[in-house]
Structure 1
Amino acid sequence: MTMPSSVAVLRIGHRLVRDDRTTTHAVLVSRAMGSKVIYMTDVDDEIKKTLDKVNKRWGGENEFKLEIIDNWKKIVKSWKENGGIVVHLTMYGSLINEKIKEIKELNQKILVIIGAEKVPKEVYFLADYNIAIGSQPHSEIAALAIFLDRIFEGNQFNKSFLDEKMKIIPSVKGKNVIMRNQSQLNNANPKKKNQN
């Protein structure tokens, strides 16, 4: 099975006030679905604080980060100069089912671009691949989740963070959560807490 060495996400744009929740979801999906970093433009520092809280509770402080940037073009150009490929998710691109195998077989690090609003035309030409999850209007976050799941083939869900203070144990009914305090983290001896 061929996997990229790493995947990062670049989100271009931010619709002020009404977009904070969507922006937070873009960060959380990137983190949960296996990305190492998300680069964002025009983002409020509150988003970074939210991620810090999530990482402290659920782990990943040293494994996933949010970088607020000024110039998205520099990130794209640097990524390509360092041997990575750029995949832009757009409903106007080539269908994912036709290109996903080719992208995976390149075995290169991937920068995934999603837009919060209409992306500049230049993105289409800078990207190595313009990929459509489907050719109907849909959420960029849904597109990101589907793309990352296809890239990692579901293996991202087998990962756990060593510094997690909370961990959900799958359960048919109710909530089953492991809670760890600092000494338990050091001893890797979790205490189980059931919530109904």
Structure 2
Amino acid sequence: MTINVLRLDHRIGRDTRITTHVCLTARAFGASKVWLAGEEDHSMMRSVRDIADRWGGDFEIEYNNSYMEVIMNWREKGGKIVHLTMYGAQAHEVVDEVRESSDDILIIVGGAKVPTKVYKNADWNVSVTTQPHSEVAALAIFQHLLMEGKEFDLEFKDPVFEVIPTAHGKTVNVHNENRKLNKKE
């Protein structure tokens, strides 16, 4: 199963930090790609690509202002769609069904106002609570449930930096530092 994320209605300036966190959370929890819809934010996308390059893996971010094109293309290729919303079915009640579908999954993370057609085109409208909350938290919780905790064991190939878990202090291995230096030239 491949997991991708579609971030709706990004607004430069207002949403840059939260959208960056959506992208980094998606990556850290096992997503391969994020599509960004709304305003095209080259700076934010460059920052996410740089982080992914330094920390390893094959993560992508791509802009497509037509979120419906992304949704319809995903569906045409046989993938399933999960829309995260506080109005949906509880995540813990539907996650087994989503996982057992074994189809590629597109997780839609909303913006300021999600159009009705997104709800109607989702295979599952999913909530992690029925209270207002952060879309970053919702994404992390849903991906954690979907991955059954296996995100803790993910290995990101060819990292420049790698955190070594320790109870106290900070331990970071630096690998292949020349690759980073060469990239900036």
TM-score of the superposed pair, with normalisation by structure 2: 0.92
Corresponding residue of 1:166: 161
1:16 corresponds in structure 2 to 12
CA distance in 2, matches of 1:64, 1:126: 25
Instruction: Tell me the residue number matched to 2:41.
Output: 44
Contact 2:84 2:126 in 1 (8 A): yes
Name 1:105's counterpart in structure 2.
100
1:148 aligns with 2:143: yes
Q: Which runs of 5+ in 1 are unaligned?
A: 185-196
Corresponding position of 2:52: 55
Give 5+ residue unaligned stretches, structure 2.
Answer: 180-185
| Alignment partner, residue 26 of structure 1 | 22
Deviations 1:70-122 (A, max 9, x none): 21111111111111100100000111122111111111110000112111111
Tell me the C-alpha RMSD between the 2 structures.
1.6
Percent sequence identity is 39
Aligned residue pairs total 179
Moved over 4 A (4+): none
Superposition deviation, residue 18 in structure 1: 2.1
Larger radius of gyration: 1
SS in 1 for 2:119: helix
Give TM-score, length-normalised by structure 1: 0.87
Work out the CA distance in 2 between the residues paired with 1:9 and 1:175.
30
Once the two structures are TM-superposed, the CA of residue 39 in structure 1 deviates from its matched residue by: 0.4
